[in-house]
Amino acid sequence: MEHVVEKHRRDGLPATFDQVDLPALAAREGTPLYVYSAPALRQRVRALRQALSGLNAGIRYAVKANGNAAVLRLLAEEGAGADIVSAGELERALRAGIAAADIVFSGVGKSDAEIVLALEVGIGRFNIESRAELDSLQRIAAARGLMATAAVRINPDVDAQTHAKISTGKAENKFGVSIAEARGWFQARAQWPNVRLDGLHMHIGSQLLSLAPVREALARMAAFWKELEAAGHPIASIDVGGGLGVRYREGEQAPDAREYAAAIAQALAGFGGRILVEPGRWLVAEAGLLLSRVLLEKHGQERRFLVLDAAMNDLLRPTLYDAWHDIVRIDGGQASVRYDVVGPVCETGDTFATDRLLPPCAAGELVAILGAGAYAASMGSTYNSRPLPAEVLVDGDRYALVRRRQTLDELLAAELPATEWRRT
């Protein structure tokens, strides 16, 4: 399967993205600018649906990867439901036209207010991560005379072989509960009469480049599902989480959707219920880039810096995870200079790449940071009082502005001078 971004990478220059001229786009909409490709998004979601077509399976897109309303709507139109982790994401999913029944609610700390909202709109399933949360769900559902549907998030204690900050399926991680604890919940099911506890859930980590840990975790889940059914606890849904990795750099090989589906089919052979998958990154990462202009080139005492108008507040992954993103000069040229590519924020960690071989770049030059469709705009902040960047969706030779650049007025709007003093 060839991705739009991969194709551009192979052809050398991303001077166009789909058929939209990037320099012209930057001139019109300004930089830093997030650019997403609608065909690339469709290609991924269709490939996954196709791969899963032999199974009774549904996609629950992890909204946190990229919750932009237009991206979400596009994925919803392609049949994706949503995996949410907050009331804000619930609102996004509903506004994008996703049916409440196709929404699952994950996360280790759901507030009562969030549980109330999700119950009242009738979301499909709560993924429960602790006994305290199960008790809260029971209390809130009972008070409203409602029945909640829930899955237990199992922490299968496998090493997902990914960055420590995005590994979630080891016993020492905060996520999920052990099989032993979950077994106790099923045995005591009657204690939670307003909770239909009939599902299993897992999510072992993100940016998984090997399916081996997924297979190991699935095997543990399958054994537990069979044990539960034998003990008289019917299981209607197994949610295998997300985590599929993508190719951020040369030499990396993202798992193939068909292999992933085959691993699920093999592990869950004989399961008669609904299978859910919660991909985030795999659907959107490679469909996006961050377009940025070089502010200046600086010859430091020891290194050569390329200072961009994008910064860590726009794209945090390099700072947070030491993540690699390919960076390309839009006008092409022979890579001959080693730059530290940095942003203007007052942090040494505001570094997109170190010692990166690029064509010589002068002030005003456009560069694209690739693989910026996931955990990019959605992790943005206004640190250093930098407004959130604009986002556009391109489709063929057209583009739509799908998020206006934040204005300084908007950035400052909620703040108040301390003129009105109150007493509690």
Rounded CA-CA distance 349/316 in Å is 10
Q: How far is the CB of 84 from ligand PLP (least distance, A)?
A: 9
* Contact set with ligand PLP (CB under 6 A): 62, 64-65, 83, 106, 203, 206, 241-244, 278-282
346 is catalytic: yes
* Beta bridge partners of residue 148, listed in sequence order: 195
Rounded CA-CA distance 344/31 in Å is 14
The sign of the dihedral angle between the CA atoms of 356, 358, 360, 366 is negative
Catalytic residue selected from 180, 346, 413, 418? 346
Is 321 labelled as part of a ligand binding site? yes
Is 60 labelled as part of a ligand binding site? no
Is 273 labelled as part of a ligand binding site? no
CA 107-109-110 angle, 5° bins = 85
The sign of the dihedral angle between the CA atoms of 254, 258, 263, 267 is positive
Rounded CA-CA distance 64/76 in Å is 15
User: Which residue number, 85 or 141, has a Cβ lying nearer to ligand PLP?
Assistant: 85
User: Which residue number, 366 or 370, has a Cβ lying nearer to ligand PLP?
Assistant: 370
Q: How far is the CB of 181 from ligand PLP (least distance, A)?
A: 18
Is 280 labelled as part of a ligand binding site? yes
User: Which residue number, 20 or 376, has a Cβ lying nearer to ligand PLP?
Assistant: 376
Rounded CA-CA distance 136/156 in Å is 24
Rounded CA-CA distance 159/69 in Å is 34
Is 46 labelled as part of a ligand binding site? no
Is 36 labelled as part of a ligand binding site? no
Q: How far is the CB of 424 from ligand PLP (least distance, A)?
A: 36
Rounded CA-CA distance 161/247 in Å is 15
Q: How far is the CB of 116 from ligand PLP (least distance, A)?
A: 21
Rounded CA-CA distance 111/51 in Å is 36
| Residues in Cβ contact with 28 at an 8 Å cutoff, skipping those fewer than 6 apart | none
User: Which residue number, 153 or 329, has a Cβ lying nearer to ligand PLP?
Assistant: 153
Q: How far is the CB of 90 from ligand PLP (least distance, A)?
A: 14
User: Which residue number, 175 or 339, has a Cβ lying nearer to ligand PLP?
Assistant: 175
Which residues belong to the active site? 346
Residues of the binding site for pyridoxal 5'-phosphate? 243, 278-281, 375
Residues of the binding site for substrate? 281, 317, 321, 347, 375
Residues of the binding site? 243, 278-281, 317, 321, 347, 375
